[in-house]
Chain A
Amino acid sequence: MSLTEMTSVDIVKERVKTGDTLMVGGFGLVGSPLTLIEALIEHDVYQLTVISNNVGETGKGLGKLLQQGKLKKAIGSYFTSNREVAGWYNAGKLELELLPQGTLSEAIRAGGAGIGGFYTKTAAGTDLAVGKESKFIDGEEYVLEKALKADVALIRAEKADAKGNLVYYKTARNFNPNMASAASYVIAEVDEIVPDGELSPEEIATPHIYVDAVVKSRYTLTKEGVVERE
């Protein structure tokens, strides 16, 4: 979509449906779309598959959705940061797909780039390659990994212009630009919306081609933790 909607957090309720697969940006709480996740917490949707590096922290961010019983499956690289994940998994109430972080990020990139899958050396010969097809290329073993796509991506950027071009801030970038490319509908939470022309074309990391809706953030991560903007 070329016309990006400047809208309210209600877009989450309009767009996210029971059974959807979601991508959620962030590395821990850094670069996490805290405001959009809060809207999901207040929205009655279930059986969600979430693709995100972590399932938030215990009771925080995506961890809250887990406590609400809204998640069917989590695909990520590091669930250890939320100790409750193992309990839900062991009780058979949550499916997990653990991927090396580079495989996770590349699968998202591939999903957004029209690539069906790729061969990677990562995890070859380990427990995480069990059941996956492998192939020797030039004498080295590679594992076939499928691309990942989602119905909706919830991402965070620092600034958007009126067209929906995005720039990021420091290590809050992480998975966000990759996820922006790999979902049918992309909602970006930003700290600031600026008029067209204010962002240098050279600094735009996610061109508006990928972005469907922009929402102003209400929650931000500070030195003192997550705070609500006044």
Chain B
Amino acid sequence: MSSKEIIASRAAEALTPYSIINLGIGIPTLVANYLDKEKYYLHTENGMLGVTSVDEEDIDPLIVNAGKQPVGEGVGASYFDSASSFAMIRGGHVDAAILGALQVDEEGHVANWSVPGKDIIGVGGAMDLLVGAKKIIITTNHTAKDGSSKLVPQCEYPVTSNRIVDMVITEHAVFQWSEEKYELIEVMSGSSISEIEEKTAFSFKVHPSLLQKEG
């Protein structure tokens, strides 16, 4: 598996069966590949509940997800207008949102919508999902292309919300927010606490059970 697939499959394990899930663009989209479509209800903010994957020959150009990729219509699916779709999101009816990140910081804030100086002037549904979904899971590579950590003391990019992100999953580690700090709760296969410490720029706690294991 590629690191993206490793992250996506781990994120799938973090979801509760029979819950309503919204998947962002990038790694989050891959999470769908690891979910039993009978047991998870995928919501997309452009107005559909019951998203599934679709085979090439069955593509309907007028059924797309928020990334404008073609998707399938599951049994029991429904369609609704944009205002209703975001009422579901802000109103707390979506159980979990899995989103990508430019950076996540020590205070639990995520930056995932804007890079100053770059011609990216779009926010889409990111800010709505951050305030509305009951649980926020960030899936991201641990480091940026230049090797710098994406897990930083304070976001340099504009934050998407003041909301604290519940969980951060990378190819090396799983962090969970725990009383004012992230706690490392899992070391991904092939990684180690010392490697995670080296690649992580924010300070974090280590769950006692992991220390025992490595000790």
Contact = CB atoms under 8 A, between A and B. Distances in A.
B121 interface: yes
A101 B61 contact: no
B210 to A, nearest CB: 33
Contacts of B59: 223
Interface string B61-79: 1111000100001000001
Contact of B81 (A101, A120, A173): A173
A170 B60 contact: yes
B48 interface: yes
B62 A102 contact: no
Candidate in A102, A120, A176 with the most chain B CB atoms within 10 angstroms = A102
Interface stretch (B125-133, B135-143, B175-183): B125-133
Given A101-B82, A141-B162, A86 B119 contact: yes
A155 to B, nearest CB: 11
Contacts of A41: none
B160 interface: yes
A126 B125 CA distance: 14
Interface stretch (A5-13, A23-31, A43-51, A210-218): A23-31
Nearest to B60: A170
Interface residues of A, number: 52
Nearest to A178: B83
B79 A170 contact: yes
Contact of A108 (B83, B123, B162): B83
A208 B46 CA distance: 24
Contact of A124 (B61, B79, B120, B162): B162
A122 B127 contact: yes
Given A86-B119, A223-B61, 16 more contacts: A28-B64, A30-B46, A78-B123, A80-B119, A80-B120, A89-B121, A101-B86, A103-B127, A109-B83, A122-B127, A123-B127, A123-B161, A127-B158, A171-B64, A173-B81, A178-B83
14 contacts: A77-B122, A80-B120, A85-B121, A86-B121, A87-B119, A100-B127, A105-B85, A105-B86, A122-B127, A126-B162, A169-B62, A170-B73, A174-B81, A175-B82
